[in-house]
Amino acid sequence: AQKVTQAQTEISVVEKEDVTLDCVYETRDTTYYLFWYKQPPSGELVFLIRRNSFDEQNEISGRYSWNFQKSTSSFNFTITASQVVDSAVYFCALSSFYNQGGKLIFGQGTELSVKP
Amino acid sequence: DSGVTQTPKHLITATGQRVTLRCSPRSGDLSVYWYQQSLDQGLQFLIQYYNGEERAKGNILERFSAQQFPDLHSELNLSSLELGDSALYFCASSVVRYEQYFGPGTRLTVT
């Protein structure tokens, strides 16, 4: 079965601190996709990144970076120099490449609060 | 703005009633997904359609059904509503197996 675990339910930091959100996944598939989504207080789900299981290169986009380690089944997300606007719930998700039409399996989410 | 539209934004109804949620995917996306977000269950996949055909089914109750029309918009029908059906219902669209773009959601409150 596929599963995504985000062990950190809530994280609180002060502005300008760096913060890492953890994501651990389980799957029997050899090819799969991993995602991060952001859900700000307004409620919409905003796509942040997609990684393929065969591409373990880390990625950086501005203050955001992602560390994908297949050996530990982890796909962690780091925000550098956090800002109040980063306050949101962040979801890690997994989808199978071949089966099940690409449905997303979400973790329970990590609520990040960035205080000024 | 993701390009996915959902109506209505809010819906308040009574137990036992039936409602229809509507979703229009991004231009060019053939695949539509429905998800339910509740406090106790988190974000759960309900059902997926691709170009009018059901492609995958998740934890969708028998009281719930969906369809995708020739113009690719989709509707999620919820019947015999119970208090526990109160949730945020999201529609998402994608090119299959790539990132899904979510609509703003419909918040359903069953009283």
Please write the tens of the pLDDT for every residue from B14-73.
999 999 999 999 999 999 999 999 998 999 999 999 999 999 999 899 999 999 999 999
Task: Find chain B residues with C-beta within 8 A of A47's C-beta.
Answer: 2, 99-102
Which chain B residue's Cα is nearest to A103?
A: B45
Task: Among B99, B101, B106, B108, pick the best mutation site for testing chain A contact (most A Cβ within 10 A).
Answer: B99
Give the tens place of pLDDT for each residue, A38-97: 999 999 999 999 999 988 888 899 999 999 999 999 999 999 999 999 999 999 999 987
Interface contact flag, B105 A44, Cβ < 8 Å: yes
The DSSP string of chain A is --EEE---SEEEEETT--EEE--EEE-S-SSEEEEEEEE-TT---EEEEEEETT----EEETTEEEEEEGGGTEEEEEESS--GGG-EEEEEEEEESSSGGGPPEE---EEEEEE-
